[in-house]
Structure formats: structure tokens, C-alpha cells
Structure 1
């Protein structure tokens, strides 16, 4: 066991851990805040520094508050910052966007005030499942830095309609032999009610299908789906239609579909994208490319400004988007294309008056490179990772783009993750 160190936390790292600088390098300590004096015990390597556990807080920050969740840090690793007062927390998150733009070569941008999703509003959860000794079932998020599953009784981030399913779902899975050792449960809260996708390490039979059907009926879940080992998803039980309204368009998401985390966050992102476009004075009915379109969260509101070509690589998402777009009147064209391997080339991009992209966590290196070589003048970039945003924005800036607006959106409350909508004009 390593000896205790007495250190002062100087700042927060990108993962929300406190960082202390020592002669041996950086020390990363979860659950600490800037300015705090603590004793910590190093527990292992982390990058060029060391991870450490806080043993005692000798001098607490005035911004330290009591975390609302009993599982915070001691068990569940999903949240990192419940112990920080909201004004200081919000300022730090907003500063992450400011710093990303500075690294991209755009200092001094007027970054908007951050929109913060309220507690208990997140509508999507990917829960880990683990069979314990004696047959009991653990259901929850992973513990911090571990494959162990925190068995949750509550959650202050998720919508209560999803939290209410924890106990009955745990009891159902305890009785299902399809879950031998481990699996997952993806819960989406749609306008039609909760939607459940189970992934298990064993097959389900007719009797277990009957159990799932009864569970769905009892708990108001129109559809319960099950993922086979080869990744194929089938409906184990469906008692009614599933649907979600996106900007007035009804879509029928596939089981486990990706959704924006919170309705309030989704609305803020859409508003920022539309405001960014409005400020650019595009020609009336200009063509717009929506890249990484998913099920159409941005495609449908964008269609009020012009004809939208929506590109997405996931087959189920494209099918959902295409079916909804056809019913909505044809202003949106859904196109399946994996932009990581086949980004739109300059000749294709040149047909559009504006490009909107909402890439995955690692950003869009290759696609942004093609945009810089095109004649596209307007780009709206929706990011969930300030580090990737800084890198991709730097490429755009080097190609002659300037940031015209930047809006931070915190729909991942109490986590270090930040959504941003940044508008560029060449």
C-alpha cells in the first residue's frame, strides 16, 4: 500500500476528477474540488500521472455540497460532480467550451449561457446486469473504473418512470435463466411509454417470452425486445405501437435507439442549430446536409428551412427516419452511409448551402477534412466532446471558417460531458 500524500487540488481534469500537481506528476482524485486540501493515497498509474483515493478532506471548498444521491461515488460511477454547487459547476462546464474554441484558434468568442437539463429528466439508460452468487441480480451503472455493477435503488438523473422499473425488472431477470452471468437493459422513455431492449448471454424460450409479455402489460411497456448473440434484435413481446414525436413528426424508433438524453437538452440543441442557420441568411429553400442524422432529431426541424439530405450509417436508424420522412411529406431524404468510412466528398458537399453534423464522441476527422476542401460556407457542428470539437474546429478555422455562435448545453447533468452547438461561416 502506498503512503498517504497531503496535496492541494488545483483544478478539475476532463473526467471531473480533482488534479493535484506533485514532483512525481499529476495526481487524479475523484470526489474532490479545486482549492481543497486533502490527504490521498495513490492507487495506480493513470496516463502520465497517478490515480488516487481521497482519504480525508482537510480543508473543504466553499462550493462543496451534499450529493443528493446515496449511490454517488461510493458505488455508482455514472455521475462525477454531484458534490459541487451549481454555480461553480456550470461555470466550469461553460469554460470547457470557451477553452475548446481557444485551442481551435478562436479566442474571445461570445459563448452563450449554458442550458442545464433539470434533474430526473434523462430518458435513456443503458443499464448493466450481473448475476450474483445465490442467483440475485445486480442492475445499475458500472462502478467507477470497474466492471463491477452498482446495484441501484434510485437515480437522480433518470426520469422517475424509468427508475420505477428498477425493482420489478431486477426481480423479473432474477427468475429468467436467459441471463446466466451478465447482460444489459436499454430503457428508452418514448411518448408511447417505456421501451425495453434486453441483451442476455443465454437464449429465451416460449415461457420466458410469456414472462416478458406479462411484465410489459403490468408495467405499461408496449414493446420488450431481445438481442440475440449475433446482434440481431427481435421483439419478444409487443402489445401496442411505439412512437416518439420529433418536432411534430411521429417516428417509431427501433429497440434501443439512440435518443438525445433529455427533452430539455434536445430542445436547446434544436433551437441553437436553427438560430445558427437563421443568422447565416441562407437562400430561401437552400439544400441542407444533415450528417450523422440518427432518427431525425435535427432533420425534421431543419426541413422547415429547406430540403434536407439526412445521412446516417446505422441501418435501423435510417429505416426509422425514412419511414417517418415519407409520411411527413418528403422534405427529408434518408440516405444510409457510414461517414466514418465514406465521408461525403467535396463534389457532393458543394451541392449544399449548409452542412449540419452531429458526430459521435470521437468527432469527425475525415468528414471535416472533406468539408474544408469543399465550397460549403456554413457549418453547424453539434458536439458531445470538447476535445474532439477543439480538434475539428481547428481544421475548419485553418480553412478560413470563423465561429459565429457557440451554445453550451448540459444534458448530462453532474457528469463531465458537455454538448455544444457551434456555428461556423467561411
Structure 2
């Protein structure tokens, strides 16, 4: 029998053999025969969740942590090599523990007389009806069964809804869209549900935008001891410990800079902690997070100026950027293609770049390197445990 060894993981999580075959659910060190049967090797582990690999929430539960960490490093290195960039020091990845994800988007559908509720199947619109989850915070997963009961009342047959869960200072924040609330009984059911489960907030979107139906006190998240209002559906780093790892990396990357511009600042994940030692300009394109951060800064007296500005349509100029000693860049998955040319020219000393997409990070890094910068180091962060989603923080310095 001819066997081939799996030597690495591909970008989508398939095992790749020495002769170039891609084999689903194989780990490095596995042996694979001609019929793609897998003989498990030393890095192949038993997946902890009954829903793996059907559930699209995880793709890599069958590999050990050493292999998962190597996968994150390889993804980043490959993206840089594709841009013909020298791969710098890539530090050991930070991996968030299981059951620590504090935000998630789930889908629900009424099938016959039951509610199917969970993540989509891998590469599919079908929903996996989750009965356990090894990535969600227990406080969030505890809401899955109760929400099935509520959705059974709200959803019409064969209709679907999207449910966003987040863990906040006040507890579980729930936002549902794709349902219609008709009649006094339905409205009362929402209030009763929110009270019974002590929700921080329950928001409903009937097609005209989300509005809170229950929010006994303003919902907040805390950065460095400062509470910032959380808009409905507002962005949070996936795990608290992953956020801490990124914040620590950003602080190291900007060093002792006394004036810092935080671009794509969101709610102030980095701006708030760093404002204890530096003057910060936080620039954010979404109105609600910018307003929430401005209110928190004004209330606490932190040295944070907030500018509501779309950096895709109106990027900062090199002259504007040159007023600061360091820049923090934390764009969405699309990267910061419009902003990086001015960054490459700007008279600044340090850049901390936080990315959730190695490909667009590498593209932007190419622009910076061509402008006279070098990548000092990169810290991978695996917040989305067992997934192919890769996050990183990188330090850039002038050559």
C-alpha cells in the first residue's frame, strides 16, 4: 500500500501531502493512502465537539495546539512571501482558550415545528442546530436553548433570523433581525423574556434598523477601567484575552510615543488604554462608535480627541499624520489600501498595524516597505479558536 505523508495545512485547513494532494481533516504527520483514508499521526487529535466538522464555526479541531500555532505562522509568512517581502521575526502565537469567545453571530430557521439554531455548515447556508459549543463563552451558550423558545414564537414557518450575542459589563446583549413583532402579546413576550434571563439588552430589527426593546441601563464594555457605550451590533475583539494580547503588542510597537493617532479606532480598544500615557487622536468612520468613545473620553477626562472620518473616502494626508510620533492602524478585513500610501510618506517613527486578514496586511506592508519602512516583528493572535481566521499585530519602523 502506497502512503503519502501530510506535511502542512493549506489556507482552508486541508492537509497537504508531500506529493501535493489536499486531504480534508488531515493533520501534519498523518499518512494518507491512495483512497484518501487517513492514518492519524502525532498531531492528530480527537475533536472535542460532536458537531465538528459539519459546523462551520470551527475548521481545525482535529489538530493539536502546536500544529494550530504553526498554521497561523505559516499563513502570515505565506502572505508576506506572496508580496515578495522578507519574513521578519514571527513570535509564538497567542491562542485564546476554548469557551472564551464573547461575541458571535448565529442563524435560526423555523423548520416544521422546530427551530434550528446555530452556525452555518461549512461553505453552506444550512444551519447546524448546536447542542454544544466549545468556543462560545458559557454565558452566551446558555442563551441558545432559551432563544430557541423565543424564536419559536417570533419566526414564521420557513423563515430565518440572524442573532448576534455579546458579553458586556451588564451581561448578555442580544440583537435579532429578520423577525416581525406584531400585537401586544408579542411585545410583552419580548419584555418577559429579557426580564427572565436578565439580559443587558434585547434589540430587534424588523427591517428598518435595530432598536432596543429592553435596556434597563446603558450597555457598556470596559477598556482599562473606562466604560464605553456599546452600540447595537458594535464591534468587540472576539475574546478578552485576545484583546489583551493585541493591546500589549500595540503598546510595545509604539514604544514611548507621546502623541498617537489611532486609525479605525472603533470603540477605543487601543486608544483608551494608551491614553493613560499619551495624547490620542482616535479616528473612526462609523458614527455610533465614534460618539460612544467621545462621550467616554469627555466623561473621564482621558486625553482622547475623536474624529468621525471615513478613511476609505478621505484618508489622512502625510502632513496630518506627520503631527504624531506613532500611528496605530486597525482596519477591517479589506485592509487600508487608501491610507497606506500617505503612511509610507509620513514623517513618523513607528506604526503598529493590527490585522484580521494576512493577505491585505501583506499588500499594505508592501506599500510601507517600498516607502522606506521595515517590519520589525509580528505577533499572531488566534482569537477564533480552531478556525482558519488569522489575526496579528505588527511593528513597523523606519529603515
Aligned twin of 1:52:
none
Distance 2:163 2:157 in 1: 11
State the TM-score, normalized to the length of structure 1: 0.87
| 1:38-83 CA-partner distances (Å, limit 9, x unpaired) | 468xxxxxxxxxxxxxx8624222211100010011x301101100
In structure 2, relative to structure 1, the CA distance for the partners of 1:77 and 1:108 (3 Å cut) is: closer
CA RMSD of aligned residues (A): 2.3
Aligned with residue 319 of structure 2, among 342, 347, 366: 347
Aligned twin of 1:154:
132
User: Once structures 1 and 2 are overlaid, which stretch shifts more, 355-364 or 6-15?
Assistant: 6-15
Aligned with residue 144 of structure 2, among 166, 178, 202: 166
Alpha-carbon shift at residue 263 of structure 1 (Å) = 0.5
- The answer on whether the counterparts of 2:23 and 2:36 sit within 8 Å (CA) in structure 1 is no
Aligned twin of 1:48:
none
Aligned twin of 1:198:
176
Distance 1:361 1:319 in 2: 23
1:382 alignment partner, SS class: strand
Aligned with residue 77 of structure 1, among 36, 56, 61: 56
Aligned twin of 2:226:
249
| 1:273-331 CA-partner distances (Å, limit 9, x unpaired) | 111112xx43xx32x11111111111101212321111111122112111111112141
1:361 alignment partner, SS class: coil
Aligned with residue 31 of structure 1, among 25, 39, 64: 25
User: Once structures 1 and 2 are overlaid, which stretch shifts more, 99-108 or 112-121?
Assistant: 99-108
- The answer on whether the counterparts of 1:209 and 1:237 sit within 8 Å (CA) in structure 2 is no
- The answer on whether the counterparts of 2:253 and 2:351 sit within 8 Å (CA) in structure 1 is no
2:242 alignment partner, SS class: helix
Alpha-carbon shift at residue 107 of structure 1 (Å) = 3.3
Point out where structure 1 has 5 or more consecutive residues left out of the alignment. Answer: 41-54
Query: Which residues of 2 match residues 125-144 of structure 1 at below 5 A?
Result: 125-132=104-111, 134-144=112-122
- The answer on whether the counterparts of 1:312 and 1:338 sit within 8 Å (CA) in structure 2 is yes
State the TM-score, normalized to the length of structure 2: 0.93
In structure 2, relative to structure 1, the CA distance for the partners of 1:212 and 1:81 (3 Å cut) is: same
| 1:93-139 CA-partner distances (Å, limit 9, x unpaired) | 2333344445555536232222111111110010111121x231111
Aligned with residue 354 of structure 2, among 382, 388, 396: 382
Alpha-carbon shift at residue 256 of structure 1 (Å) = 1.5
Distance 2:32 2:48 in 1: 22
Distance 1:238 1:108 in 2: 48
1:79 alignment partner, SS class: coil
Distance 2:339 2:235 in 1: 21
Aligned twin of 1:367:
339
Aligned twin of 2:245:
268
Aligned twin of 2:195:
217
Distance 2:156 2:279 in 1: 46
Distance 1:342 1:151 in 2: 43
Distance 1:58 1:155 in 2: 26
Alpha-carbon shift at residue 361 of structure 1 (Å) = 1.2
Query: Which residues of 2 match residues 37-56 of structure 1 at below 5 A?
Result: 37-38=31-32
- The answer on whether the counterparts of 1:101 and 1:109 sit within 8 Å (CA) in structure 2 is no
1:122 aligns with 2:101: yes
1:394 aligns with 2:366: yes
In structure 2, relative to structure 1, the CA distance for the partners of 1:298 and 1:179 (3 Å cut) is: farther
In structure 2, relative to structure 1, the CA distance for the partners of 1:419 and 1:58 (3 Å cut) is: closer
Distance 2:157 2:207 in 1: 12
In structure 2, relative to structure 1, the CA distance for the partners of 1:10 and 1:327 (3 Å cut) is: same
1:118 alignment partner, SS class: coil
- The answer on whether the counterparts of 2:312 and 2:338 sit within 8 Å (CA) in structure 1 is yes
Corresponding residue pairs, total: 397
Distance 1:113 1:8 in 2: 25
Aligned twin of 1:51:
none
Aligned twin of 1:47:
none
Aligned with residue 48 of structure 2, among 68, 75, 85: 68
Aligned twin of 2:283:
311
